[in-house]
Structure 1
Amino acid sequence: MLYRAYQTSADLLSPSRLAAQYLGSSLWQQNSQRSAARRIAAAMEVYSRMRLTHTRPAYGIQSVTVDGEEVAVHEEVALVAPFGTLLHFRKNTSAVHPPVLLAAPLSGHFATLLRETVRTLLRDHDVYLTDWHNARDVPLWHGGFGLDDYTLQLIKFLEAVGPGVHMVAVCQPCVAALAATALMAEDDNPSTPRSLTLMAGPVDCRINPTAVNKLANERPIGWFERNLISRVPWPHAGMMRRVYPGFLQLTAFMSMNPERHKQQFQKLFEYLVEGEIEKAATIRDFYDEYLAVNDLPAEFYLETVERVFQTYDLPRGALTVGERKVNPAAIRRTALLTVEGERDDICAVGQTVAAQDLCTGVRPYLKTHHLQAGVGHYGVFSGSKWNAQIYPRVREAIHTAAEVH
């Protein structure tokens, strides 16, 4: 009922938003210098953009600078699975760079949220990315997709990249990335990551619990299932699939700081009226990405809430994948880098570095931790400090591990 009500509302508002988009565009073309027309056009554009979309935006990475030279980048499909695609950002260069699998969160947003992370890694690495599909577009006959399935899919993606791969996990997938690495190490899998970088991930949420952690523990898992899980309505390909709708995830995110979003849309209106096109474009581009939502499979969402945020299976030594118990101590030859942001209010300081204590089989010289001052959650993998201060540490960890092997 919840998803159907949302869909009906979106369908009813769609004609007015399209009309506003058309009217605003016409006014810009015909009366770009008249203040009254500019205000109306700006208002029409802001209104037309205050909407959710459900299609993955383009990555738009056409080229990257490698050793001072601009080289073309081609986005290729390396492997397709029902719930995700392994993307390869192939560069037109003869330079040989370490292969890196970037594990993106399966959350209310698409993996394009890591666009800047990909672009930066491409300078010195051969980059692959987990491009998770919108669950509402996955037909019901493909079955469910839970936390175990995510972990096993990571293993398949790593095997597709092949021996010598390195893995970088951002936020939510840190638990699954650590579990996948442990299982592969225990099996002596030749595609076991040579290095594992965990960035702002909830390895042990018992440490410095944030508002997000506390919210997950305020109610039993049954409450989440009854109140937050809906079935995908007709006419989507995943009709009748149980999902945690992306619009609910986005609502939760925006409710944490509603005044900031209100101010940003106000600024967008003012910049458009004043002709500050570049400033307006910055806000417009951000919200085009931010308002593109991705539905999560219900199994994955509920299992993550319960096993990661409520029962803390990994740090308690109780995490299993299928019938197998995950043993982080089995990791011996994989270098480990953990990264945290000083001001992270989603994954607090101490929650990610906890992986260092779990991986007792990794020798001290293969372990590194970086605490970045002055950044919040998103600043760990995007923005100026990511590029100038965090990325050099990530690059060093990967290249050092590649040389050791």
Structure 2
Amino acid sequence: MLYSVYELNHLAMTPWRAVANATRRMMQLPGNPMGDTYAGRSVAAAADLFESMTRRYVKPEWMLEPVEINGHKVPVTETVVWSQPWCNLLHFVRDPEALKAAGVKKAQPKVLFVAPMSGHYATLLRGTVEAFLPDHEVYITDWTDARTVPITDGRFDLDDFTTYVRAMLTELGGDTHVVAVCQPGPPVLAAIALMAEDKDPARPLSMTFMGSPIDTRLSPTVPNKLAEEKPYEWFADNLIHTVTLPNTGAMRQVYPGFLQLTGFINMNLDRHVDAYKEYFANLVKGNGDDADRHNAFYDEYLAVMDLSEEFYLQTIRDVFQEHKLALGTQEVKGRLVKPASITDIALLTIEGENDDISGIGQTQAAHTLCADLPDSLKEDWVQPDVGHYGVFNGRRFREQIAPMMKRFMVEKGDLARAER
């Protein structure tokens, strides 16, 4: 029922958005005498604000600029190298001829970023990708919006997520470094543990976990407490809804992205209200640069995807309520996960000092679980003065975290290779 209301509301707003767009364009016409008055700019700003707050934000494009390497501009092309109904594996291919011209003559390290499947699209990691493009072959998981997956393509749960990660690592080969950003921490660690136990030659050289809920009993945050305070049945009864037409995933049971987004916004409501007040003021003043920065952020932040019912509910139960990975009881399709099997894959954990999603210690728990991994292959990093988003994006990520990660991959990757 809620999904139908959401779709009807979107349709009902369509003519009003058209009126708002027409009003804004009319006020901004060069020949309009009202256009450059305070009243005219205010009307145009109000119309712009209405349209931006009632629009449905679509999946953003990557739009990666050519990367600069040794003073040369190297074009980047987005290519799908592995595909399943619920995920595409993207490779950001740097032009080979431009690489040669930039003096890059040998293969550079491969890094797979496992993007979170928690509401936002993989493009949220655009800055993360850009930081690694100059000196890495970069791959990323591009998870599919559940409302676009036909019901005939079957179910997708946390076990399937883990299986997908292993399949992608197998596709890339054993000289890969894998980075799990936030939510994928537990399934990525599970996939690697299974590969390690099997002595799979495709197991990665290193694994990095960034702000991940490996053990949410440690320094619990507001989302962690909510997941534990409410019974499993509450999530199933109140947060799962049926996708309606005209979506291609009609009749599929999902946790809607618009509900996840509501939760995100309510956590920092005052900050978002202030941001839109400032946006309105900048439009009235004609401060286009600041208004463009606002739009760039919210075009990404407000674009959300649905999660399949089974994936969302299993994550709530296994990760946030029963802590299965931390307690040694997690199974993947009936097989027990044993992180202690990992003995020759370097481990890096990264946390933000002010993270209000994954508290301090939750990611570090991976070190305890990988009990038989030598200390020489382990590192931990707590970044001062950043929250959850700052762990994988922003100035401190570019200037401090990314260089540390690259150094770790080179040094510890060589040690892990020697262990084999």
Bin the TM-score by the shorter chain. Answer: over 0.9
Q: Is the 8 A contact 1:54 1:294 kept in 2?
A: no
Select 1:50's aligned residue among 41, 48, 53.
53
Q: Is the 8 A contact 1:134 1:294 kept in 2?
A: yes
Q: In the alignment, is residue 310 of structure 1 matched against residue 321 of structure 2? A: yes
- The equivalent residue for 1:170 is 181
Flag the 1:367–1:400 CA change in 2: closer, same or farther, 3 A.
Answer: same
Select 1:370's aligned residue among 370, 378, 381.
381
Q: TM-score, normalised by structure 1?
A: 0.98
- The equivalent residue for 1:67 is 70
How many angstroms does 1:332 deviate by? 1.1
How far, CA to CA, are the matches of 1:325 and 1:357 in structure 2?
A: 17
Q: Is the 8 A contact 1:205 1:309 kept in 2?
A: yes
Flag the 1:160–1:25 CA change in 2: closer, same or farther, 3 A.
Answer: farther
How many angstroms does 1:62 deviate by? 2.6
Q: Is the 8 A contact 2:13 2:54 kept in 1?
A: no
How far, CA to CA, are the matches of 1:110 and 1:19 in structure 2?
A: 30
Single out whichever of 157-166 and 264-273 deviates more from structure 2: 157-166
SS at match of 2:178: strand
Q: Deviations over 1:17-45 (max 9, x none)?
A: 13212321332233442322111111111
Q: In the alignment, is residue 213 of structure 1 matched against residue 216 of structure 2? A: no
- The equivalent residue for 1:39 is 42
SS at match of 2:56: coil
How many angstroms does 1:69 deviate by? 2.6
How many angstroms does 1:275 deviate by? 1.1
How far, CA to CA, are the matches of 2:187 and 2:138 in structure 1?
A: 19
Q: In the alignment, is residue 84 of structure 1 matched against residue 87 of structure 2? A: yes
How far, CA to CA, are the matches of 1:395 and 1:196 in structure 2?
A: 12
SS at match of 2:311: helix
How far, CA to CA, are the matches of 1:52 and 1:346 in structure 2?
A: 27
How many angstroms does 1:97 deviate by? 1.2
In structure 2, what residue type is equivalent to 1:168? V
SS at match of 2:304: coil
Q: Is the 8 A contact 1:52 1:292 kept in 2?
A: no
In structure 2, what residue type is equivalent to 1:29? L
How far, CA to CA, are the matches of 1:91 and 1:402 in structure 2?
A: 23
Q: In the alignment, is residue 16 of structure 1 matched against residue 16 of structure 2? A: yes
How many angstroms does 1:184 deviate by? 0.9
Flag the 1:51–1:361 CA change in 2: closer, same or farther, 3 A.
Answer: farther
Q: Within 5 Å, give how 1:241-260 maps onto structure 2.
A: 241-260=252-271
- The equivalent residue for 1:287 is 298
How many angstroms does 1:390 deviate by? 0.8
SS at match of 1:371: strand
Q: In the alignment, is residue 189 of structure 1 matched against residue 200 of structure 2? A: yes
Q: Is the 8 A contact 2:147 2:254 kept in 1?
A: yes
How far, CA to CA, are the matches of 1:266 and 1:55 in structure 2?
A: 23
SS at match of 1:50: helix
Single out whichever of 160-169 and 318-327 deviates more from structure 2: 160-169
Flag the 1:291–1:18 CA change in 2: closer, same or farther, 3 A.
Answer: farther
Q: Within 5 Å, give how 1:253-402 maps onto structure 2.
A: 253-402=264-413
In structure 2, what residue type is equivalent to 1:346? I
SS at match of 2:118: coil
Flag the 1:361–1:18 CA change in 2: closer, same or farther, 3 A.
Answer: farther
How far, CA to CA, are the matches of 1:165 and 1:51 in structure 2?
A: 42
How many angstroms does 1:401 deviate by? 3.3
Flag the 1:52–1:129 CA change in 2: closer, same or farther, 3 A.
Answer: farther
How many angstroms does 1:52 deviate by? 5.0
How many angstroms does 1:257 deviate by? 1.5
How far, CA to CA, are the matches of 2:174 and 2:216 in structure 1?
A: 32
SS at match of 1:361: coil
How far, CA to CA, are the matches of 1:261 and 1:240 in structure 2?
A: 33
User: Which structure 2 residue ranges, 5 or more long, are not aligned?
Assistant: none
Q: Which portions of structure 1, spanning 4 or more consecutive aligned residues, are displaced by more than 4 angstroms?
A: none
How many angstroms does 1:256 deviate by? 1.0
User: Which structure 1 residue ranges, 5 or more long, are not aligned?
Assistant: none
- The equivalent residue for 1:29 is 29
Q: Is the 8 A contact 1:51 1:291 kept in 2?
A: no
Select 2:112's aligned residue among 90, 101, 120.
101
- The equivalent residue for 1:122 is 133
Q: Identity over the aligned pairs, expressed in percent?
A: 44
Single out whichever of 75-84 and 14-23 deviates more from structure 2: 14-23
CA RMSD of aligned residues (A): 1.2
Q: Deviations over 1:122-168 (max 9, x none)?
A: 12211000001110000001111100000000111111222211100
Single out whichever of 329-338 and 86-95 deviates more from structure 2: 86-95
In structure 2, what residue type is equivalent to 1:36? A
How far, CA to CA, are the matches of 1:156 and 1:53 in structure 2?
A: 33
How far, CA to CA, are the matches of 1:26 and 1:191 in structure 2?
A: 59
How many angstroms does 1:188 deviate by? 1.6
How far, CA to CA, are the matches of 2:370 and 2:25 in structure 1?
A: 56
Q: Is the 8 A contact 1:53 1:293 kept in 2?
A: no
How far, CA to CA, are the matches of 2:71 and 2:57 in structure 1?
A: 37
Q: TM-score, normalised by structure 2?
A: 0.94
SS at match of 1:29: coil
Q: Is the 8 A contact 1:62 1:74 kept in 2?
A: no
How many angstroms does 1:54 deviate by? 5.4
How far, CA to CA, are the matches of 1:347 and 1:101 in structure 2?
A: 21
How far, CA to CA, are the matches of 2:201 and 2:237 in structure 1?
A: 43
How far, CA to CA, are the matches of 1:362 and 1:25 in structure 2?
A: 62
Q: Is the 8 A contact 1:231 1:243 kept in 2?
A: yes
SS at match of 2:314: helix
